[in-house]
Amino acid sequence: KAGVTQTPRYLIKTRGQQVTLSCSPISGHRSVSWYQQTPGQGLQFLFEYFSETQRNKGNFPGRFSGRQFSNSRSEMNVSTLELGDSALYLCASTPGIPGRNEQFFGPGTRLTVL
């Protein structure tokens, strides 16, 4: 079974631009979660999608948004980029049974905002 894939792996953007990141979960997994990882802050939960619906949301501004498609692939979008948005963005998938499944992580997308 293929693992979680994320594209692109690296991105460089400038302040004010917007960016879209993509995540393809493990086949059969219906839940996709997104995290922002920065040095010293660890992993901060952004949101979780299940069956095309946002089920949980972390404490991030509205500039961060996401969606999930019928094939469970997910995208997250960040508008009006700020320098502080530079981070590793990790996607994780689970089969979708609440709480009792470990999350399988992708390699991440490294976003640099200049």
Partner 1 sequence: AQSVTQPDIHITVSEGASLELRCNYSYGATPYLFWYVQSPGQGLQLLLKYFSGDTLVQGIKGFEAEFKRSQSSFNLRKPSVHWSDAAEYFCAVGAQNTGNQFYFGTGTSLTVIP
Q: Residues in the site for partner 1, rule: CB under 8 A?
A: 4, 31, 33, 35, 40-43, 45, 48, 50, 55-56, 58, 90, 92, 94, 96, 98-108
Of 30, 62, 55, 57, give the one whose Cα is nearest residue 45.
57
Least distance from partner 1 to the Cβ atom of residue 80, Å = 26
Give the residue with the Cβ less far from partner 1, 46 or 78.
46
Phi, psi torsion values for 47, nearest 5 degrees: -165, 165
Cα 112 from Cα 76, distance rounded (Å): 16
Least distance from partner 1 to the Cβ atom of residue 10, Å = 10
Least distance from partner 1 to the Cβ atom of residue 41, Å = 7
CA angle 71, 61, 73 (to 5 degrees): 10
